[in-house]
Amino acid sequence: MVIKKLEEDNIKLIEKFGANPISSIENLPEFYTFNNNLFYSHRDFDKFLRRLNNGEESAIVSGFNASGTIHLGHKAVFDTNLFFQQKYDVKIFIPISDDESYVANKVETQKEAFENSLNLVKELIAYGFDPKKTFFIIDQVYTDIYNYAIMLSKRIIFSTIKATYGYNEVTNLGLMFYPTIQSAHILFPQLEFEIKNVLVPIGPDEDVHLRICRDLASKFKLVKPATIHAKFMPGLDGAKMSKSKNNCFYFKDDEKTLLKKTNKSLSGGRDTLEEHKKLGGVVEKDLACYYLEKYFLSKEESEKINLEYKKGNLLSKDVKKKLFDELIKLTSKFQKNLENVNLKDCENSILKNKNRKKLF
């Protein structure tokens, strides 16, 4: 099945790279992303939770690429970050990698990356992040971050970067240096604010960056940041949800676009109505069922829909209509919030160099 195939990278982190299954942790937070198994594995998450519950000041670092806009695949990480911010008063640091977007050719100019970064600040505040407890690192603005990157760069050698990322003699120097900048982002709460209890929620494909960072932390006698690995989410076509594949539900999508995407999403319905009523739908193949179960419905609601679908009492169009309704509620709220976000109101959330008072 599609979902099982997408979990292979998570399994690889445990079997080959020393991560631990998150199911091994007792008393996980009572929140839907953990209840619905949207996180698969971790490094030191148990330690993070213990320090957090003991009242230690804590932070989350959760980066974003400056080449796109937010979509449904970000929901699990965003909601988990918000859960910790709202329940535990955790500070959240969001590096927006405008420099990496440029050197990796995800955008054409640094100006484009900067403008995208400012738009993302607005989007994330509209999503629900508290501007008084959320701090955005845009590297073109907060160039002080490069001082930390230079400091860290002394303890990492080219052969490590080459072997880890597969870079070669034709790789541009910006990409080769970027892992130290990313480590500076992750270690920033500890380096700048002495917040030692730090969590980094990521996808399994980003664990390589954390392995580099945790190794550097040890070399500088810093506390290793903890991490949790979100499961890859399937996109509309069943492949990994990704902006590059354009197989996502975007929070800026209008109603017509959402309806078209929902109707095109991978279905577990049978070829004919007669066959569907006789054999029932295949829940494991149906993305509407999957999204509803993982993101929107209670366990009881989801089980009821899945059962009726398997019996053939619900058709594919019925579960897609339910998903569409949930998406409309989610995106309408976001879009309304976004209209009311003034970038100047967010200015204090954007970190600036110590000698810089104003951005706008």
Q: Which amino acid is at 207?
A: D
pLDDT tens-digit readout, 297-356? 999 999 999 999 999 999 999 999 999 999 999 999 999 999 999 988 889 899 999 876
DSSP letter at 131 equals T
* Candidate from 61-75, 103-117, 144-158, 346-360 with smallest mean pLDDT: 346-360
Instruction: Provide the 10 A C-beta neighbour count for residue 350.
Output: 22
Domains of the chain: 2-237 (3.40.50.620), 243-338 (1.10.240.10)
**Structure tokens that stand for 151 in this block:** 């400091």
Alpha carbon distance 282, 309 (integer Å): 8
- 5: confidence class by pLDDT, cuts 50, 70, 90: low
DSSP letter at 228 equals E
Alpha carbon distance 23, 185 (integer Å): 28
Reported pTM: 0.94
